[in-house]
Amino acid sequence: MTDTILHHVAHSRSFRILWLLKEMGLNPQIKPYKIMDGSLRTPEFLAISPGGRVPALEIDGKTLFESAAITDYLVESRAEHGLGRPAGHAERQEYLEWTNFAETMASRIEALNLSWIFLRDPAMRSDTVCKIEARRLAAAIEALELHLAGRDYILASGFSAADTMMGFNLISAPYYVHLDPFPRVQAYVARISARPAFLAARADDGPQEFYTKDFYEVDRD
Ligand SMILES: N[C@@H](CCC(=O)N[C@@H](CS)C(=O)NCC(=O)O)C(=O)O
């Protein structure tokens, strides 16, 4: 059997796949990259992930990119773990909505990361864009707060890959949005963070190197 290799940046969307693999009892070999050092733009890596993005996963003799696609591949090829919801399942629609909504939320974090962390010159940052994106991220978290009423996980029947897709967001979102007004989301974060597979994934994730402050906000109105 070929090795399972996860092309990974610590504290990034590739955590979704690391965590999902751990939930399935799989321990990938981790190939680490950094966002700013050019390692995601080499011809070798672009042959693996054409957009130069992580995650990418080598598994079963295939190479896959895009976290939602990798997630679907894993839950379908390893259906015995019950972490997906196949076509025809009563929760299929909700499963699709929330795995994709995780990416809607993540794109707000990506925009904030670009503004606060990855612009080489802070003078290029727009306070207006930062404020709008933080509000849009808060609105996405509010949607999750409402959805979690009466549930422990995103799907009423229990833990699924919709949670591994969403989980990464909630590690990063608190750098931009305070979670105090969202008690169900806070309880959800505590619940997912206590899962043994989540803890094992965090142990292998590597130290985050993006954030140098606990919270980023525009200090002028
Ligand atoms: N929709 C893609 C997004 C992948 C993505 O943008 N990953 C970020 C890390 S969270 C990345 O590789 N960024 C590198 C770059 O923008 O150069 C997915 O879910 O896999």
Write the CATH number of the domain with boundaries 5-81.
3.40.30.10
Same fold, 5-81 and 92-195: no
Q: Where are the beta strands (DSSP E) in 33-189?
A: 56-59, 62-65
pLDDT string in tens for the chain (221-residue length): 569 999 999 999 999 999 999 999 999 999 999 999 999 999 999 999 999 999 999 999 999 999 999 999 999 999 999 999 999 999 999 999 999 999 999 999 999 999 999 998 989 999 999 999 999 999 999 999 999 999 999 999 999 999 999 999 999 999 999 999 999 999 999 999 999 999 999 999 988 889 999 999 998 65
Question: How far apart are the C-alpha atoms of 75 and 19, rounded to whole Å?
Answer: 13
Q: Which of 7, 46, 54, 71 to mutate to test the pocket of ligand 1 (most atoms within 8 A of CB)?
A: 54
Look up residue 77 and give its two tokens.
């090829």
Q: Whose CA is nearest to atom 14 of ligand 1?
A: 53
Whether the CB of 103 sits within 6 Å of ligand 1: yes
Residue nearest to atom 12 of ligand 1 (CA): 53
Domain residue extents for the chain: 5-81, 92-195
Domain 92-195 has CATH 1.10.10.10: no
